[in-house]
Structure 1
């Protein structure tokens, strides 16, 4: 019986674009797809240690701040943390409910106060369609949806029994915005926010303002480290070995590309794209072909020639 050909060993189930992050809280099949890249394992373990008691009686809520350069995998790490939280709290008979407020500010340039108000209004709007809150309290939040200080600090005690609420907030470059959210987080709630802009001086301000409350969980995702390219490629190629036939990568190629790709996003885009390009050459798409640096360069050159979406040079 002839083995079927795997379309692309770097394609991820349920995702349609290589730039999309892993999301085990939405797609459980992603749980086992994480590879220890750019210190993501360390970041994940830091969260699991600090958030182990989230949702326990008498425990305050948490604010998870994930920092790192654009494309380094912040969202994927945050999603992994939420996947762990779902599984861990389920063992304690608690259910995680997630409100995704990240789209709330799309296309808008607002002051910090306007950002906070707009997001709060969005969150309350999302809660209106769910049954997470005691109905009488939900009515009060609806009336005060333009006043974050009248909503967020009271969410915890208004949640129905057995619920832990997670709110995914829009990314920010404002340290004071993070501090405000840290002051508002309430019991049985987790705020999650990402930033690619904070320098050490900004993080120091955030730490100093929130250190006495025990609510801040801050994790950092760094750049790719030595060996990450080969580690990721070998994981994906080995993972699909029993499912079909596809080209492998030469050791020379693996070593030659170390240090040339700075983020996990770049890594995924290049490898997925190179295999998609090879699929257009059926005679080369098989186990007897080795993906070379030339194949990868061909993909990168093709991408460099692509015209911007709006037609501008």
Structure 2
């Protein structure tokens, strides 16, 4: 038997979120829990309304509590950006620069901004996106001055017919996100995420380029079965043998978990199901029951 919650191109140890622009199979693994699908459709609509990066860039802020799927949604929106450009502006290339894992906690806003400029330069240089070496030298000269770096980079990208999508590290700094609104240029899209309420509240105060604000939250009782059923149905469709469970079991687990902790998230649900179903496979059990969930939390000392 196989684990229906094991993600393609992922091990249980790495715990990375879905990333369809890197692993195409992930595009079909998103499940409409919480209101994540509505937020994705909101971004799709923004692309349909304003898809020409030669006229303007974008700043997208995704906010919500820890573990609610912000980075996963960010990757999905980056993927959709590339797909949309391929469909409507096929002459334009797309480079996605993933800096979400860059740890910048403790640095001030200016130091973080300079770090991002240097990282963008390095990634573009490594990928050899420009034909002339002098272009890399020119943007490197400006890497310590973001206000000069991005306008110059924008001109190079326009000439190269290249859109750069930058996935920024999580931010707890209001000023940092606000500043990226001033950095937005043609052919450049910034995606930022934050778990901080103060950052989520800055939208009405952003006196720069319009910002697309997507919000995520925690799961309700019915989201559990929607997620589990989606994974089990996918396994059935692909004739993948795996343990199963039923709606009543998952609903009872979700009710107990939410009542005990006050909330649960998609990240926790994914980790729990992957571990519980893996234990069932190891014990050659074809049915996952409520006791299997409680046993998992008892062993992890997370019992509510």
TM superposition score normalised by structure 2? 0.88
Is 1:302 paired with 2:299? yes
Give the aligned partner of residue 45 of structure 2: 49
CA distance in structure 2 between the partners assigned to 1:57 and 1:244 by the alignment: 42
> Which residue is equivalent to 2:261?
none
Q: CA deviation at 1:36?
A: 0.2
Change (3 A) 1:163 1:209: same
Q: CA deviation at 1:224?
A: 0.8
Tell me by how many angstroms 1:291 deviates: 1.2
SS at match of 2:242: coil
Matches within 5 A, 1:1-313: 5=1, 7-17=2-12, 19-52=15-48, 56=52, 59-91=55-87, 92-93=89-90, 94-105=92-103, 109-133=106-130, 135=132, 136-159=134-157, 160-199=159-198, 202-210=199-207, 213-214=209-210, 216-241=211-236, 242-259=238-255, 260=257, 262-282=264-284, 284=285, 286=286, 290-304=287-301
Tell me how far apart the structure 2 counterparts of residues 89 and 147 of structure 1 sit (CA, whole Å). 29
C-alpha displacement of 1:55 = 5.5
Give me the whole-angstrom Cα distance separating, in 2, the residues matched to 1:294 and 1:57: 52
Distance 2:53 2:17 in 1: 33
SS in 1 for 2:186: coil
RMSD: 2.0
Aligned length: 290
- Give distance in 2, aligned partners of 1:105 and 1:57: 29
Write the deviation string for residues 52-103 of structure 1: whole angstroms up to 9, x where unpaired. 3556265210011100100000111111111211111111202210112234
Describe the SS at the equivalent of 1:104. coil
Is this contact kept in 2: 1:62–1:185, CA < 8 A?
yes
Q: Could you list the runs of 5+ residues in structure 2 that have no partner in the other structure?
A: 259-263
How high is the TM-score relative to the length of structure 1? 0.86
Report Cα offsets for 1:101-144 as digits up to 9, x if no partner: 234335x5212222222222222222222233463333211112
Can you give the 5+ residue segments of structure 1 that lack an aligned partner in the other structure? 306-313
* SS of corresponding position for 2:160: coil
